[in-house]
């Protein structure tokens, strides 16, 4: 497990900035003097307390499977792909949100995009191609995606028009359980 280098940090922060309103809150010192850091192990990026990361240095890299919250994976081409395991971090710091009705939650959890007919409400002034966190009407985060249209354009769309492209949903825990935490 090692700290991210400068290029990796830029790629990760660029991706997180697409979804989060305040990145400073992710790395700000906590009340107890500790802070959260980003670490890389087997191409996975983890968000973990510094004190725990320091304790993990005594474990061999090959023997360490996971530590903290897995935010996503660095691809071989140098890009960063968020995993569904990052949802608690994204939901706490989300800038733009979409709430789906009960009839739209199941199609989303089965891997479909969100159409206008399934939207209960959404954040005002959301631009096109911006990261959004998807909630049900009871404010439970279900996943995240990318807005297909701005809020103003989506209001004029027909009911079957897509307003959000799915990136990840909680159904992945069941659909992709074999590959979600596998190294490689």
Provide the residue ranges of all domains of the chain, joining segments of one domain with +: 2-89, 94-174
**What pLDDT is attached to residue 150?**
92
First to last CA, the chain: 15
**What is the mean predicted confidence (pLDDT) over 71-91?**
93
Fold adopted by 2-89: Nuclear Transport Factor 2; Chain: A, (3.10.450)
Fold adopted by 94-174: 2.30.130
Contacts of residue 97, defined as CB under 8 A and 6 or more positions apart, other chains included, come to 122, 123, 132, 133, 134, 135
**What pLDDT is attached to residue 181?**
64
**What pLDDT is attached to residue 183?**
55
Task: Flag whether the pTM goes above 0.85.
Answer: yes
Does 80 have pLDDT greater than 90?
A: yes
Tell me the CA distances in angstroms from 101 to 62, 75, 120, one per residue in order: 44, 34, 5
Tens-place pLDDT, residues 22-53? 888 888 888 888 899 999 988 899 999 999 99
Common-topology check for domains 2-89 and 94-174: no
Say what percent of the chain tops pLDDT 90.
67
- The per-residue pLDDT of the chain, averaged, comes to 90
């Amino acid at each position: 497990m090692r700290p991210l280098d400068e290029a990796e940090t830029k790629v990760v922060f660029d991706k997180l900035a697409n979804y989060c309103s305040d990145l400073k809150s992710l790395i700000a010192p906590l009340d107890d003097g500790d802070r959260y850091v980003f670490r890389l192990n087997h191409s996975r990026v983890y968000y973990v307390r510094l004190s725990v990361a320091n304790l993990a240095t005594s474990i061999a890299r090959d023997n360490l499977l996971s530590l903290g919250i897995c935010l996503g994976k660095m691809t071989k081409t140098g890009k960063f792909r968020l995993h569904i395991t990052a949802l608690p971090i994204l939901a706490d710091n989300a800038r733009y949100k979409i709430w789906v009705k009960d009839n739209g939650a199941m199609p989303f959890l089965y891997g479909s995009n969100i159409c206008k007919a399934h939207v209960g409400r959404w954040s005002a002034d959301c631009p096109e191609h911006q990261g959004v966190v998807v909630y049900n009407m009871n404010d439970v985060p279900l996943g995240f995606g990318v807005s297909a249209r701005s809020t103003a354009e989506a209001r004029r769309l027909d009911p079957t028009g897509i307003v959000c492209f799915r990136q990840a949903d909680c159904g992945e825990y069941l659909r992709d359980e074999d590959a979600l935490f596998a190294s490689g």
